[in-house]
């Protein structure tokens, strides 16, 4: 077996192909859009390069056939709550079911990180935000959500045999959006709905700047400083909403207010992989036209929860039930969406897990794991601390 560091455009293209070759026989596999992977490794598009660096490798067998790949990252701003050593990352891991091959890939990443002062590595993670390409799939090997890692079940053994331990688990919750919400949720909703200080509403595409600012207020109050989160700036929120605009279905993006101050948001989007699975990794002009056509036809009946947040002083007051029921009152009569799944929640966040469980007849739809490997094998391993 031979390791080849990716240094040329041809090798970068081959790096993407490894994932396709090793997963093409799996009927649940959906090929990611090539450009979305390429952006991670493009310094002109990925701002993480401002405070980090990366390397990636392809592993070939004796006949020159690709049998694995891996990327290693140093991100000076990457830090999880409770960290006491510098931690690097690995990601975009693919490998045949062979421990020796996996060990070669993980070894080269570990040595590269060690040379740059890292004392541990987390993986598989992203060189960038945590909402994409984060965690190893360990349960729920059905069609992946957009920007979510997908891998065969044997990857878990490859990681754990190497010495990785679970740093935290990532739970996704699903439900049938047409089923009645629980009586508890409906009762809590009724209490707040009777209070004139509370109101809620769907997003309006014509007022995106207003909602971007509301998003900023809620996000920074609810997430900044927790679990590695950082405070967003106005320009980041505006850029996010401009990017989201073509995807927004106003019926499934909701905000709640108390005395006209934003206190909660429930942001969902149509599940993009239900479109992307038709595109074979490409998203040029032809695919964009096909996207518009598929959307017009109503080809996507799935929607995905990407952000649910309540400012701290209103947590535990029923705001979660209030905003969820308001959305359900619009979505359920239309009977358009038939599948719903929330993006992952870390098992270190029991409050959000409890919110997910109170939605109705929810179930864990899939589970991913963020693993950690300490370079000093005598050091005590500690899992991600609990929030709250």
pLDDT in tens, 268-297: 999 999 999 999 999 999 999 999 999 889
What does the pLDDT look like over 116-165, one tens digit per residue?
A: 999 999 999 999 989 899 999 999 999 999 999 999 999 999 999 999 99
256 strand-pairing partners? 200, 264
DSSP per-residue string spanning 305-318: EEEEEE-GGGTTTT
What is the model's pTM? 0.90
Is the model's pLDDT at 192 over the cut of 90? yes
Q: Taking all residues of the chain, what is their mean pLDDT, rounded to a whole number?
A: 93
The pLDDT of 83-109, averaged and rounded, is: 97
- Please name which of 384, 351, 354, 388 lies closest in space to residue 369, comparing C-alpha atoms: 384
- Please name which of 128, 149, 189, 138 lies closest in space to residue 30, comparing C-alpha atoms: 149
What does the pLDDT look like over 48-94, one tens digit per residue?
A: 999 999 999 999 999 999 999 999 999 999 998 889 999 999 999 99
The pLDDT of 192-221, averaged and rounded, is: 93
DSSP label at residue 360: S
Note the pLDDT of residue 229: 54
Residues 6 or more apart in contact with residue 46 via CB below 8 angstroms: 39, 40, 127, 128
Return the structure tokens found at 201. Answer: 């509403």
CB 223 within 8 A of CB 309: yes
């Amino acid at each position: 077996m031979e390791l080849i560091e990716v240094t040329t455009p041809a090798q970068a293209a081959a790096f993407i192909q490894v994932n396709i070759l090793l997963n093409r026989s799996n009927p649940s596999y959906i090929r990611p859009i090539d450009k979305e992977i390429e952006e991670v490794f493009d310094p002109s598009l990925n701002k993480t390069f401002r405070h980090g660096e990366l390397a990636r490798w392809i592993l070939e067998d004796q006949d020159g056939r690709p049998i694995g790949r891996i990327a290693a990252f140093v991100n000076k701003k990457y830090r999880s709550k409770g960290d006491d050593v510098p931690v690097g990352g690995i990601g975009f891991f693919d490998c045949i079911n062979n421990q020796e091959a996996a060990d070669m890939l993980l070894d080269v990443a570990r040595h590269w990180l060690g040379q740059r002062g890292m004392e541990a590595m987390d993986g598989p993670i992203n060189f960038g935000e945590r909402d994409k390409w984060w965690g190893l799939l360990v349960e729920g090997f059905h069609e992946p959500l957009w920007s979510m890692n997908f891998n065969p079940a044997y990857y878990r053994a490859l990681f754990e045999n190497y010495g990785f331990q679970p740093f935290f688990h990532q739970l996704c919750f699903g439900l049938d959006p047409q089923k009645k919400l629980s009586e508890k949720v409906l009762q809590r909703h009724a209490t707040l709905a009777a209070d004139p200080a509370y109101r809620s509403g769907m997003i309006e595409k014509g007022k995106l700047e207003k909602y971007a600012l509301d998003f900023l207020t809620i996000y920074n109050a609810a997430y900044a400083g927790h679990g590695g989160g950082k405070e967003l700036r106005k320009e980041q929120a505006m850029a996010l909403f401009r990017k989201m605009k073509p995807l927004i279905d106003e019926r499934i993006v909701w905000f709640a207010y108390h005395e006209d101050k934003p206190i909660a948001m429930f942001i969902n989007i149509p599940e993009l992989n239900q479109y992307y699975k038709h595109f074979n990794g490409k998203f040029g002009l032809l695919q964009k036209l096909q996207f518009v056509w598929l959307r017009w036809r109503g080809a996507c009946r799935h929607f995905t929860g990407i952000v649910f947040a309540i400012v701290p002083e209103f947590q535990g007051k029923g705001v979660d039930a209030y905003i969820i029921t308001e959305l359900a009152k619009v979505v359920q009569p239309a009977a358009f969406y038939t599948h719903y799944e929330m993006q992952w929640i870390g098992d270190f966040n029991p409050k959000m897990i409890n919110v997910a469980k109170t939605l109705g007849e929810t179930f864990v739809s899939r589970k991913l794991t963020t693993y950690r490997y300490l370079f000093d094998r005598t050091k005590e391993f500690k899992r991600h601390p609990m929030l709250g």
